[in-house]
Amino acid sequence: MIVKSLTAGLAAISATIFGFSVGALAEGRLGVPKDKGIWLQEAASEQARLIESFNIELMWIITVITVFVFLLMFYVMFRFREKANPVPSKNSHNTAIEIIWTVVPIFILLFIGLTSLPLLYYQDVVPKTDFAVRVTGNQWNWTYSYPDHDGIEFTASLIDKATFDDPDAKAQVEADLTAFLGAPAKLNAYLLDTDYRMVVPVDTKIRVQLAASDVIHAWAVPAFGVKLDAVPGRLNELWFEADATGTYYGQCSELCGKDHAYMPIAVEVVSKEDFAKWVDQAKAEYADAGIIAFGR
Ligand SMILES: [Cu+2]
Protein backbone atom coordinates (compact mmCIF):
# COMPACT_ATOMS: atom_id res chain seq x y z
CA MET A 1 0.00 0.00 0.00
CA ILE A 2 1.14 3.53 -0.74
CA VAL A 3 0.69 4.70 2.85
CA LYS A 4 2.66 1.76 4.22
CA SER A 5 5.59 2.17 1.84
CA LEU A 6 5.56 5.91 2.47
CA THR A 7 5.92 5.48 6.24
CA ALA A 8 8.50 2.72 5.78
CA GLY A 9 10.44 5.07 3.49
CA LEU A 10 10.28 7.88 6.04
CA ALA A 11 11.52 5.50 8.74
CA ALA A 12 14.43 4.36 6.58
CA ILE A 13 15.42 7.94 5.72
CA SER A 14 15.24 8.97 9.38
CA ALA A 15 17.26 5.95 10.46
CA THR A 16 20.03 6.96 8.04
CA ILE A 17 19.99 10.60 9.09
CA PHE A 18 19.74 10.11 12.85
CA GLY A 19 21.57 6.82 13.05
CA PHE A 20 19.21 4.76 15.17
CA SER A 21 18.86 1.12 14.35
CA VAL A 22 15.91 -0.50 12.63
CA GLY A 23 17.90 -3.54 11.57
CA ALA A 24 18.56 -6.95 13.05
CA LEU A 25 18.28 -7.39 16.81
CA ALA A 26 21.02 -8.71 19.02
CA GLU A 27 20.12 -11.67 21.23
CA GLY A 28 20.33 -11.38 24.99
CA ARG A 29 19.37 -7.74 24.93
CA LEU A 30 18.72 -5.36 27.77
CA GLY A 31 15.51 -3.37 27.47
CA VAL A 32 16.35 -0.41 29.70
CA PRO A 33 16.19 3.35 29.26
CA LYS A 34 19.52 4.81 28.14
CA ASP A 35 21.27 7.72 29.87
CA LYS A 36 20.31 11.00 28.22
CA GLY A 37 18.21 9.04 25.77
CA ILE A 38 15.57 11.11 23.97
CA TRP A 39 14.15 8.54 21.57
CA LEU A 40 12.03 5.45 22.16
CA GLN A 41 13.64 2.35 23.60
CA GLU A 42 14.94 -0.05 20.98
CA ALA A 43 12.01 -2.10 19.75
CA ALA A 44 11.82 -5.81 20.56
CA SER A 45 8.43 -6.54 19.00
CA GLU A 46 6.57 -5.75 15.80
CA GLN A 47 4.20 -3.48 17.75
CA ALA A 48 7.07 -1.40 19.12
CA ARG A 49 8.60 -1.16 15.64
CA LEU A 50 5.33 0.06 14.14
CA ILE A 51 4.97 2.60 16.95
CA GLU A 52 8.50 3.81 16.20
CA SER A 53 7.73 4.19 12.47
CA PHE A 54 4.56 6.08 13.31
CA ASN A 55 6.46 8.29 15.73
CA ILE A 56 9.00 9.06 13.00
CA GLU A 57 6.20 9.88 10.57
CA LEU A 58 4.65 12.29 13.09
CA MET A 59 8.03 13.89 13.80
CA TRP A 60 8.46 14.66 10.09
CA ILE A 61 4.96 16.11 9.81
CA ILE A 62 5.43 18.22 12.97
CA THR A 63 8.83 19.44 11.80
CA VAL A 64 7.66 20.46 8.34
CA ILE A 65 4.62 22.30 9.75
CA THR A 66 6.67 24.08 12.43
CA VAL A 67 9.36 25.20 9.98
CA PHE A 68 6.75 26.32 7.45
CA VAL A 69 4.77 28.37 10.01
CA PHE A 70 7.92 29.99 11.40
CA LEU A 71 9.22 30.90 7.93
CA LEU A 72 5.83 32.35 7.07
CA MET A 73 5.76 34.39 10.28
CA PHE A 74 9.23 35.79 9.77
CA TYR A 75 8.44 36.57 6.13
CA VAL A 76 5.26 38.43 7.12
CA MET A 77 7.01 40.30 9.95
CA PHE A 78 9.78 41.42 7.61
CA ARG A 79 7.92 41.99 4.36
CA PHE A 80 4.89 43.76 5.83
CA ARG A 81 6.51 45.77 8.60
CA GLU A 82 5.42 49.41 8.74
CA LYS A 83 8.56 50.75 7.10
CA ALA A 84 8.47 48.42 4.11
CA ASN A 85 4.70 48.49 3.72
CA PRO A 86 3.36 51.87 4.93
CA VAL A 87 -0.06 51.48 3.29
CA PRO A 88 -1.56 48.15 4.40
CA SER A 89 -3.90 46.25 2.14
CA LYS A 90 -7.60 46.38 3.08
CA ASN A 91 -8.23 42.77 1.93
CA SER A 92 -9.85 40.51 4.48
CA HIS A 93 -10.68 37.51 2.29
CA ASN A 94 -8.86 35.40 -0.21
CA THR A 95 -10.97 32.47 -1.32
CA ALA A 96 -8.10 30.50 -2.87
CA ILE A 97 -5.96 30.66 0.27
CA GLU A 98 -8.92 29.84 2.52
CA ILE A 99 -9.68 26.72 0.49
CA ILE A 100 -6.02 25.67 0.63
CA TRP A 101 -5.66 26.12 4.38
CA THR A 102 -8.80 24.09 4.93
CA VAL A 103 -8.13 21.29 2.50
CA VAL A 104 -4.41 20.75 3.17
CA PRO A 105 -4.85 20.12 6.94
CA ILE A 106 -7.71 17.72 6.13
CA PHE A 107 -5.35 15.68 3.97
CA ILE A 108 -2.63 15.77 6.62
CA LEU A 109 -5.10 14.50 9.25
CA LEU A 110 -6.43 11.85 6.84
CA PHE A 111 -2.88 10.65 6.27
CA ILE A 112 -2.21 10.48 10.02
CA GLY A 113 -5.51 8.64 10.53
CA LEU A 114 -4.75 6.17 7.74
CA THR A 115 -1.46 5.26 9.37
CA SER A 116 -2.46 5.40 13.06
CA LEU A 117 -5.82 3.62 13.10
CA PRO A 118 -4.57 0.34 11.55
CA LEU A 119 -1.78 0.35 14.16
CA LEU A 120 -4.33 0.91 16.95
CA TYR A 121 -6.40 -2.06 15.78
CA TYR A 122 -3.30 -4.20 15.27
CA GLN A 123 -2.49 -3.67 18.95
CA ASP A 124 -6.05 -3.88 20.18
CA VAL A 125 -7.22 -7.10 18.53
CA VAL A 126 -5.60 -10.04 20.28
CA PRO A 127 -4.63 -12.62 17.63
CA LYS A 128 -4.48 -16.36 18.21
CA THR A 129 -1.96 -16.65 21.01
CA ASP A 130 0.08 -19.58 22.29
CA PHE A 131 -0.80 -19.10 25.93
CA ALA A 132 -1.93 -16.53 28.48
CA VAL A 133 -0.29 -14.94 31.46
CA ARG A 134 -2.49 -13.30 34.03
CA VAL A 135 -0.92 -10.19 35.49
CA THR A 136 -2.40 -8.66 38.62
CA GLY A 137 -1.34 -5.26 39.89
CA ASN A 138 -1.15 -4.89 43.67
CA GLN A 139 -0.06 -2.03 45.91
CA TRP A 140 2.91 -2.35 45.20
CA ASN A 141 4.02 -5.30 43.15
CA TRP A 142 2.85 -7.57 40.34
CA THR A 143 1.54 -11.11 40.55
CA TYR A 144 2.15 -13.30 37.50
CA SER A 145 0.04 -16.41 36.95
CA TYR A 146 0.36 -18.97 34.20
CA PRO A 147 -3.09 -20.63 33.97
CA ASP A 148 -1.95 -22.68 30.95
CA HIS A 149 1.07 -24.03 32.85
CA ASP A 150 -0.38 -25.68 35.95
CA GLY A 151 -1.10 -22.33 37.55
CA ILE A 152 2.49 -21.31 38.17
CA GLU A 153 2.19 -18.16 40.24
CA PHE A 154 4.54 -15.74 41.92
CA THR A 155 4.71 -12.11 42.93
CA ALA A 156 7.55 -9.89 41.73
CA SER A 157 8.55 -7.00 43.99
CA LEU A 158 11.08 -4.22 43.80
CA ILE A 159 14.62 -4.82 44.99
CA ASP A 160 15.26 -2.00 47.42
CA LYS A 161 18.11 0.47 47.49
CA ALA A 162 19.75 -1.05 50.58
CA THR A 163 20.06 -4.41 48.79
CA PHE A 164 21.47 -2.77 45.69
CA ASP A 165 24.06 -0.91 47.77
CA ASP A 166 25.15 -3.96 49.75
CA PRO A 167 27.29 -6.30 47.60
CA ASP A 168 26.53 -9.38 49.72
CA ALA A 169 22.79 -8.83 49.73
CA LYS A 170 22.87 -8.08 46.01
CA ALA A 171 24.80 -11.29 45.28
CA GLN A 172 22.25 -13.24 47.33
CA VAL A 173 19.35 -11.79 45.32
CA GLU A 174 21.17 -12.56 42.07
CA ALA A 175 21.74 -16.13 43.25
CA ASP A 176 18.04 -16.50 44.12
CA LEU A 177 17.04 -15.05 40.76
CA THR A 178 19.47 -17.37 38.97
CA ALA A 179 17.90 -20.33 40.77
CA PHE A 180 14.41 -19.12 39.84
CA LEU A 181 15.24 -18.55 36.17
CA GLY A 182 17.50 -21.57 35.83
CA ALA A 183 20.03 -19.34 34.06
CA PRO A 184 22.62 -16.78 35.20
CA ALA A 185 20.87 -13.57 36.17
CA LYS A 186 22.25 -10.19 37.04
CA LEU A 187 20.57 -7.17 38.58
CA ASN A 188 20.74 -4.29 36.15
CA ALA A 189 19.05 -1.23 37.54
CA TYR A 190 17.64 -0.03 40.85
CA LEU A 191 13.93 0.87 40.45
CA LEU A 192 13.64 -1.55 37.52
CA ASP A 193 14.78 -4.88 38.96
CA THR A 194 12.45 -7.24 40.78
CA ASP A 195 13.04 -10.38 42.88
CA TYR A 196 11.15 -12.55 40.35
CA ARG A 197 10.69 -11.97 36.64
CA MET A 198 7.90 -12.75 34.26
CA VAL A 199 9.34 -15.43 31.96
CA VAL A 200 8.17 -15.83 28.36
CA PRO A 201 9.51 -17.59 25.27
CA VAL A 202 10.85 -15.65 22.28
CA ASP A 203 8.90 -15.51 18.98
CA THR A 204 5.70 -16.54 20.72
CA LYS A 205 2.43 -14.65 20.83
CA ILE A 206 1.42 -14.12 24.43
CA ARG A 207 -1.92 -12.97 25.74
CA VAL A 208 -1.59 -10.86 28.86
CA GLN A 209 -4.73 -10.68 30.97
CA LEU A 210 -4.59 -7.71 33.25
CA ALA A 211 -6.43 -7.11 36.49
CA ALA A 212 -5.78 -5.37 39.78
CA SER A 213 -6.46 -6.28 43.39
CA ASP A 214 -6.81 -2.83 44.86
CA VAL A 215 -6.49 0.29 42.71
CA ILE A 216 -5.84 0.98 39.03
CA HIS A 217 -2.31 0.16 37.89
CA ALA A 218 -0.93 -0.04 34.35
CA TRP A 219 1.36 -2.66 32.93
CA ALA A 220 3.82 -1.17 30.45
CA VAL A 221 6.95 -2.46 28.75
CA PRO A 222 8.32 0.10 26.26
CA ALA A 223 10.47 -2.34 24.25
CA PHE A 224 7.35 -4.39 23.44
CA GLY A 225 5.25 -1.31 22.72
CA VAL A 226 2.59 -2.30 25.25
CA LYS A 227 0.83 -0.33 27.97
CA LEU A 228 -2.59 -1.06 29.40
CA ASP A 229 -4.48 -0.30 32.60
CA ALA A 230 -5.00 -3.02 35.18
CA VAL A 231 -8.39 -2.25 36.69
CA PRO A 232 -9.97 -3.89 39.77
CA GLY A 233 -12.99 -5.99 38.83
CA ARG A 234 -12.29 -5.87 35.15
CA LEU A 235 -10.24 -7.98 32.77
CA ASN A 236 -8.13 -6.14 30.22
CA GLU A 237 -6.14 -7.86 27.53
CA LEU A 238 -3.08 -7.08 25.51
CA TRP A 239 -0.71 -9.22 23.52
CA PHE A 240 2.91 -9.13 22.45
CA GLU A 241 5.48 -11.24 20.70
CA ALA A 242 9.06 -10.55 21.72
CA ASP A 243 11.52 -11.18 18.92
CA ALA A 244 14.82 -11.19 20.79
CA THR A 245 15.82 -12.90 24.01
CA GLY A 246 16.91 -10.70 26.88
CA THR A 247 15.67 -8.83 29.91
CA TYR A 248 13.12 -6.08 29.36
CA TYR A 249 11.99 -3.58 31.92
CA GLY A 250 8.92 -1.47 32.42
CA GLN A 251 7.13 0.36 35.18
CA CYS A 252 3.63 0.78 36.53
CA SER A 253 2.24 3.62 34.43
CA GLU A 254 -0.86 4.64 36.33
CA LEU A 255 -0.59 6.76 39.48
CA CYS A 256 -1.59 4.18 42.05
CA GLY A 257 -0.52 5.49 45.41
CA LYS A 258 2.54 6.39 47.40
CA ASP A 259 4.74 3.60 46.07
CA HIS A 260 3.69 3.95 42.44
CA ALA A 261 7.33 4.47 41.45
CA TYR A 262 8.38 1.29 43.26
CA MET A 263 6.56 -1.47 41.38
CA PRO A 264 8.66 -2.11 38.29
CA ILE A 265 8.16 -4.80 35.68
CA ALA A 266 10.92 -7.16 34.59
CA VAL A 267 10.35 -9.63 31.76
CA GLU A 268 12.84 -12.34 30.89
CA VAL A 269 12.52 -13.47 27.26
CA VAL A 270 14.17 -16.86 26.77
CA SER A 271 14.43 -19.42 23.98
CA LYS A 272 11.53 -21.85 23.59
CA GLU A 273 13.64 -24.72 24.93
CA ASP A 274 14.71 -22.72 27.95
CA PHE A 275 11.09 -21.75 28.57
CA ALA A 276 10.02 -25.40 28.58
CA LYS A 277 12.79 -26.13 31.06
CA TRP A 278 11.78 -23.19 33.23
CA VAL A 279 8.14 -24.31 33.26
CA ASP A 280 9.14 -27.79 34.44
CA GLN A 281 11.27 -26.33 37.18
CA ALA A 282 8.80 -23.63 38.22
CA LYS A 283 5.87 -26.08 38.31
CA ALA A 284 7.55 -27.96 41.13
CA GLU A 285 7.72 -24.91 43.34
CA TYR A 286 5.17 -22.37 42.18
CA ALA A 287 2.27 -24.36 40.71
CA ASP A 288 -1.05 -23.38 42.29
CA ALA A 289 0.78 -21.36 44.88
CA GLY A 290 -2.49 -19.61 45.64
CA ILE A 291 -0.90 -16.27 46.34
CA ILE A 292 -3.04 -14.48 43.81
CA ALA A 293 -4.10 -11.22 45.29
CA PHE A 294 -7.76 -11.19 44.23
CA GLY A 295 -9.91 -10.28 47.20
CA ARG A 296 -6.96 -9.88 49.48
CU1 LIG B 1 0.76 0.74 40.20
Ligand 1 center to 258 CA (angstroms): 9
CA atoms within 13 A on the CB side of 101: 8
Residues 137 and 280 occupy one common structural domain: yes
Q: Is the pLDDT of residue 294 over 50?
A: no
Q: What CATH number is attached to the domain comprising 173?
A: 2.60.40.420
CA dist 142 and 54 (Å) reads 30
Please tell me what DSSP assigns to residue 4: H
Q: What CATH number does the domain containing 103 carry?
A: 1.10.287.90
Q: How many angstroms separate the alpha carbon of residue 255 from the centre of ligand 1? A: 6
pLDDT score for 12: 62
Torsions phi, psi of 227, nearest 5? -160, 120
Calculate the average pLDDT of the chain. 90
For residue range 180-191, what is the model confidence (pLDDT) as tens digits? 999 999 999 999
The span from the CA of 7 to the CA of 204, in Å, is 26
Decide if 295 contacts 173 (C-beta within 8 A).
no
Instruction: Tell how far the Cα of 261 is from the centroid of ligand 1, in angstroms.
Output: 8
Return phi, psi of residue 275, to 5°.
-65, -45
pTM for the model stands at 0.84
- Summarised one tens digit per residue, pLDDT across range 78-105 is 999 999 999 998 888 999 999 999 999 9
Query: What span, in angstroms and rounded, lies between the C-alpha atoms of 213 and 138?
Result: 5
Q: Which of 11-25, 107-121, 278-292 has the lowest average pLDDT?
A: 11-25
Single residue among 100, 124, 148 that ends a domain in this structure: 124
Query: If you measure from the C-alpha of residue 192 to the centroid of ligand 1, how many angstroms do you get, rounded to a whole number?
Result: 13
The reply to whether 294 falls in a domain is: no
107-129 burial, b for 16+ CB within 10 Å, e for fewer? Answer: eeeeeeeebeeebeeebeeeeeb
Considering the domain architecture, whether residues 211 and 70 belong to the same structural domain is answered as no
Rounded distance from Cα 252 to ligand 1 centre (Å): 5
CA 256–ligand 1 middle distance (angstroms) = 5
Instruction: Give strand pairing partners of 31.
Output: 248
Distance 254 CA to ligand 1 centre (A): 6
Distance 191 CA to ligand 1 centre (A): 13
- Of 82, 109, 124, the residue at which a domain comes to its end is 124
The H helix count followed by the E strand count for the chain is 6, 11
In which domain, by residue range, is 272 found?
131-286
Query: Has residue 26 been placed in a domain?
Result: no
Distance 239 CA to ligand 1 centre (A): 19
40 and 114 together in one domain:
yes
The total of structural domains in the chain comes to: 2
Ligand 1 centre and the CA of 263: distance in Å?
Answer: 6
Instruction: Identify whether residues 223 and 191 lie together within a single domain.
Output: yes
